[in-house]
Structure 1
Amino acid sequence: MSIEKMNSGLLILAEMEASLPPSERKIAQYILKHPAEAIKMTAIDIGKQSHTSSAAVIRLCKSLNLSGIQELKLRIAGDLQSEKIDVRDIEPNEPLESIIDKITNHSMQILRETADLIDQKELKHAVDAILNAKRIFFFGVGASAIAAMDAYQKFVRINKYCMFFTDTHLGATAVVNAEEGDVVVGISFSGETHEVAKVLEIANGVNATTISLTRYGNSLIASLADICLYTSPKVEATFRSGATSSRLAQLHVLDILFMCVATSTYEETIEYLDKTRTVIKTLHEKVGKRRITYS
């Protein structure tokens, strides 16, 4: 990630605060209360101000999966420079124009935060796993099933052997027959969905490569995955509790994953997409006796 695009430091701290060890939690709390001051301090200064130590500051950065105090400060500085978007829930009899603005602003924020949280090393691992996969299994339940289906319809168009499941029994019976080299992608915004966790557990038992897509932070599903991808952890507002923003964030990450795979096999991808577009067009033609070839 380039320096000028670094942010989400405050988001990461807020999400991870509760799960941090006591000394690291004190540092996180201090920085969240005094972000503008913290970015001007050294690790020693932050340790003193939070009544901990510089060593605890370094440990905090490791817990947050950051390269060090400099990256943390750069991310926080990016947060402070970013334009604040007012995200509120809708109100009774709200004007249409206001609803359009609120939903659009919220979606923009979710997409930006999700992009900022993508670990490019993990993304590269996921791309390599997909590229080398014999088979790909996408699994999600509820709203996450929509993301699983969307990923399936994208990758199947570029000739990847893949399946998606929303039924736990079907998913389990398919994944138990997976092999080393196969990839199983478990999708759950909360990261705690029992069915998704079980499917990843089964996948690990047969040595398939496992990828999780969850909200940022520690979770059961992320702990079960070989490769972890994250979305913004922002909680859904009351009227968006139908997983509007979380679904949008999941689709965003899967789109990025797809495009990364596509660009790695650009010529083949274009050929497959052209072929699938051609066959879709023929579906609207009158059925005849002539044989249609697509090679």
Structure 2
Amino acid sequence: MQNSDIFTTIHTTYNSFTNTEKKVADQIIKNRTEVIYMSITDLADRCGVGESSIFRFCKTLGFKGYQEFKIAMAHSLNSEEEAPQIDKEILRNDSLEDLTAKVKNTNISALDETHSLINYANLDKAVSLLVAAERIRFFGVGASLITAMEGYNKFLRITGKSEFTVDQHLQAMTASLMTERDVAVIISYSGSTKDTIEVARAVKEAGAKTICITRFVKSPLTAYSDITLLCGANEGPLQGGSLSAKIAQLYLLDVLYFEYFKRTFDISAANKEKTAKAVVEKLL
């Protein structure tokens, strides 16, 4: 996450904040251009908290103190000013032209933020686990079930060790039968879905490795994750299953797929030809 700006860091860490920290985060996001000129006392008064709460908030984000936090904010604001502003909020009175542009901008923003969140060391480890795995099982429920199925479909074209089950009960059972030679790819935007957490727990107890694709750094799911890959799409409580979140997740799956293909080129290329031939007669 070292490549992301401070506002992206706040978004990806938000669900692990205390109520007091959320009050501070909300003020910073809402008044970002004002906060950079505020003293720690000014910000504390604006948030209705003590100065020590502001200091703890900065420490939670990995900064030594408030001044270092403000320096990071200044860099992030400068980057925003240099980048073209993207209008994404959809309004009831938007024209069809405005609507199509905003949907496009939302998806582009999700991809850009996901790219900025990539931890290349974690990405490299994730691909190494997939290459060495005896079986790769994809898990997800709800909207993430569709993304998990896409991951399964993608990898099935180049390796016979890709596996997937739709039913949640069957997912739980197959997770419990995994071994230390297997890898689970678990997809969940919130990281707080009960069925997904139970699967992750079963995978961990079975001794298999877990790669999680999720939005937040800390969640009940990431507690069971060996490697966490963050997707950068903001999704409100009334936006469950948004395509921008799915696009961000699919982007990470695509990166994993292509790097896996590169590292296992000979066998993957041969398998891709076989699977293509298997369905060619289905086409007119």
Which range moved further: 26-35 or 108-117? 26-35
Residue equivalent to 1:10? 7
Partner Cα distance (1:253, 1:154) in 2 = 12
Aligned-residue offset at 1:141: 1.1
2:267 counterpart letter in structure 1: E
Instruction: Quickly say closer, same or farther: Cα 1:20–1:35, change in 2 above 3 A.
Output: farther
Aligned-residue offset at 1:158: 0.8
Residue equivalent to 2:119? 119
Does the 8 Å contact 1:13/1:28 carry over to 2? Answer: yes
Aligned-residue offset at 1:271: 2.6
Pairs within 5 Å for 1:35-46: none
Which range moved further: 216-225 or 22-31? 22-31
Partner Cα distance (1:16, 1:284) in 2 = 47
Partner of 1:127, secondary structure, is helix
Residue equivalent to 2:272? 273
Residue equivalent to 1:291? none
Residue equivalent to 1:135? 135
Residue equivalent to 2:250? 251
1:115 counterpart letter in structure 2: H
Residue equivalent to 1:88? 89
Q: Deviations over 1:177-222 (max 9, x none)?
A: 1100201121111110110100010010110001111113321111
Q: Deviations over 1:239-271 (max 9, x none)?
A: x54422221211111111111211222333323
Q: Deviations over 1:138-186 (max 9, x none)?
A: 1111111111111001111111412112311111111111100201121
Aligned-residue offset at 1:282: 3.6
Does the 8 Å contact 2:16/2:219 carry over to 1? Answer: no
Partner of 1:220, secondary structure, is coil
1:261 counterpart letter in structure 2: Y
Partner Cα distance (1:126, 1:160) in 2 = 18
Partner Cα distance (2:272, 2:79) in 1 = 38
Residue equivalent to 1:205? 205
Which range moved further: 22-31 or 255-264? 22-31
Partner Cα distance (2:41, 2:121) in 1 = 30
Q: Give me the TM-score of the superposition, normalised by structure 2.
A: 0.79
Instruction: Quickly say closer, same or farther: Cα 1:81–1:237, change in 2 above 3 A.
Output: farther
- Superposition RMSD in Å: 3.5
Pairs within 5 Å for 1:129-208: 129-208=129-208
Aligned-residue offset at 1:30: 8.2
Residue equivalent to 2:47? none
Which range moved further: 134-143 or 158-167? 158-167
Which range moved further: 9-18 or 107-116? 9-18
Partner Cα distance (1:116, 1:35) in 2 = 22
Q: Unaligned 5+ residue runs, structure 1?
A: 286-295
Instruction: Quickly say closer, same or farther: Cα 1:72–1:213, change in 2 above 3 A.
Output: farther
Residue equivalent to 2:79? 78
Does the 8 Å contact 2:134/2:161 carry over to 1? Answer: yes
Instruction: Quickly say closer, same or farther: Cα 1:48–1:88, change in 2 above 3 A.
Output: closer
Instruction: Quickly say closer, same or farther: Cα 1:169–1:29, change in 2 above 3 A.
Output: closer
Aligned-residue offset at 1:95: 3.8
Aligned-residue offset at 1:97: 2.4
Partner of 2:202, secondary structure, is helix
Instruction: Quickly say closer, same or farther: Cα 1:81–1:241, change in 2 above 3 A.
Output: same
The structure whose RCO (Cα within 8 Å, separation 6+) is larger is: 2
Partner Cα distance (1:137, 1:202) in 2 = 13
Q: Give me the TM-score of the superposition, normalised by structure 1.
A: 0.76
Q: Unaligned 5+ residue runs, structure 2?
A: 45-50
